[in-house]
Amino acid sequence: MTANQSMSQVPLTLEGSWVLHQMFRLRWAEWRALSASDRQDIAAEAAVLIGGDQAARQQSAVFQILGHKGDLMFIHFCKSFEQLHAVEHQLEATRLHTYLEPASSYVSVIELGLYDSSVKLYRELNEKGTAPHTPEWNAAIEETLKRQREAMQSRLFPEIPNHKHVCFYPMDRKRGEHKNWYTLPIEERQRQMEEHGLVGRRYAGKVRQIITGSIGFDDWEWGVDLFSDDPLVFKKLIYEMRFDQVSAEYALFGSFYVGSRMMADEVSGFLGASK
């Protein structure tokens, strides 16, 4: 193990909204067999869910996705894990749900990785001779987390970005026999993440990125949502990043879902309720 053993290797993270992605296929044949007015009523009932519940600090958005991976993708931002169950249950209680076939899903929580603060803090504590996991060490960690959490409220509990298009994919950091992210020293990981961040910063204004952590919740380590009004930007950004060391050598990607937002009043149109 090449890592500097005198320092913690675990980057501090902050967590915000709980997130559920749900991808569904519509059972078109059964749906089309309904009368136009039934379709209209059912679509209207479902549209109520979209936009979420402001009083409960819960947001939902729906996207039509391209290709055979699904017809609809819901993204829910919730204030608690229990609310993820509740929002899933609300959808199950709609009549529309009978016509939806679950195709995929993703459970995660908005995560901010504090590589810079972590390395800085661990170095200071190390220099002061504060041993990991002592009360003094724990207090310093807690104080840093508290300060950052306050500073980053809006990034931890954001609105679902209002852009026209979405790109969602899950990813892992590689643990190969020779290239293993988790055995790199934290300073090296911080350096690579910083380089990676520089690319992202050049796309500020063109794309909004929300990173969610899913270790312990789903089959990949992170879920990434990109939102943009220009879908070409998804390709430009991800392709450029692929040449960063951290992506080139350590990134593994799952399936990509790409689609376009539907506001509540567009759902009926999509579902053909008015035909």
Helix locations, the chain, DSSP H: 28-32, 36-47, 81-92, 115-128, 135-151, 153-156, 186-202, 232-241, 245-250, 264-270
The reply to whether 146 sits near a copy of itself by the rule CB under 8 A is no
Distance CA 242, CA 103 (A): 28
Q: What's the min distance (Å) between Cβ of 147 and a copy of itself?
A: 19
User: Are the C-beta atoms of residues 166 and 73 closer than 8 Å to each other?
Assistant: yes
Interface pick for a copy of itself out of 157, 256, 264, 266 (rule CB under 8 A): 256
The reply to whether 266 sits near a copy of itself by the rule CB under 8 A is no
Of residues 151 and 248, the one with the C-beta less far from a copy of itself: 248
Helix locations, 25-158, DSSP H: 28-32, 36-47, 81-92, 115-128, 135-151, 153-156
Residue 115 annotated in active site: no
The reply to whether 141 sits near a copy of itself by the rule CB under 8 A is no
Distance CA 140, CA 98 (A): 52
Q: Which stretch binds a copy of itself (CB under 8 A): 44-52, 79-87, 121-129, 139-147?
A: 79-87
Q: What's the min distance (Å) between Cβ of 273 and a copy of itself?
A: 13
The reply to whether 130 sits near a copy of itself by the rule CB under 8 A is no
Of residues 47 and 257, the one with the C-beta less far from a copy of itself: 257
The reply to whether 73 sits near a copy of itself by the rule CB under 8 A is no
Distance CA 262, CA 259 (A): 10
Interacting residues with a copy of itself between 51 and 70 (CB under 8 A): 64, 66-69
User: Are the C-beta atoms of residues 70 and 24 closer than 8 Å to each other?
Assistant: yes
Of residues 51 and 231, the one with the C-beta less far from a copy of itself: 231
Q: What's the min distance (Å) between Cβ of 160 and a copy of itself?
A: 19
The reply to whether 5 sits near a copy of itself by the rule CB under 8 A is no
Of residues 32 and 120, the one with the C-beta less far from a copy of itself: 32
Interface pick for a copy of itself out of 43, 72, 160, 258 (rule CB under 8 A): 258
Main-chain dihedrals φ then ψ at residue 105, nearest 5 degrees: -170, 170
Q: Kindly list the distances between the CA atom of residue 57 and the CA atoms of 73, 131, 159, 160, 224, in Å, as whole numbers in the listed order.
A: 20, 40, 10, 12, 22
Distance CA 162, CA 184 (A): 37
CB atoms within 10 A of CB 48: 12
Interacting residues with a copy of itself between 21 and 50 (CB under 8 A): 22-23, 25, 28-29, 32
Interacting residues with a copy of itself between 90 and 119 (CB under 8 A): 92-93, 97-98, 102-107, 109
Given the residues 106, 115, 122, 169, the one annotated as active site: 169
Q: Of 88, 63, 93, 70, whose CA–CA distance to 78 is shortest?
A: 88
The pair of structure tokens assigned to 160 is 């679902």
Q: What's the min distance (Å) between Cβ of 75 and a copy of itself?
A: 13
Q: Of 74, 88, 83, 79, whose CA–CA distance to 110 is shortest?
A: 79
The reply to whether 203 sits near a copy of itself by the rule CB under 8 A is no
Interaction mask 223-242, a copy of itself, x per CB under 8 A: ---x----xx-xx-xxxx-x
Active-site residue list: 169
